[in-house]
Amino acid sequence: MELYYRRAGERISLKRSIWQKLKVPQFATGAAQGVDASRVVFAFARDNALPGSRWWKQINPYTQTPVNAVWLVMFCAAICGLFGFSAAALSSLAG
């Protein structure tokens, strides 16, 4: 802990110091998971294994990417993120 204090040049909390160092890896991990999940959604939709596959497997002619699949994943991630603000959901995960 003293190492963090010396490195910062002032007395900052250990929690804040560690949290600041984890912001970039956390963002990168979330972005990678979004890419992976959208590829899985597209693969399942391409094989007609999802409801509404015709819409999820459409490729954008300009970007040549499955934009609809990406938006589905981002929407589902946002909904799951909103559950984190619920006290009941948090207490059920924490035990």
Write the DSSP string, 28-66.
Answer: HHHHHHHHHHHHHHHHHHHTT-STTHHHHTPPPTTT-S-
User: So what's the pLDDT on residue 11?
Assistant: 56
Give, as one character, the DSSP assignment of residue 51.
T
Give me the pLDDT at residue 88, please.
Answer: 73
pLDDT (tens digit per residue) in 23-78: 888 889 989 999 999 999 999 999 999 999 999 999 999 999 999 999 999 999 88
Residue that is written with structure tokens 């294994």 in the block = 49
Model confidence at 81, in pLDDT bands (50, 70, 90)? confident
Instruction: Report the C-alpha gap between 29 and 39 in whole angstroms.
Output: 15
- In a 3-state reduction of DSSP, which class is residue 11? coil
**pLDDT tens, residue by residue, 1-22:** 556 556 655 556 666 667 777 8
pTM: 0.67
Confidence band, pLDDT 50/70/90 cuts, at residue 83 = confident
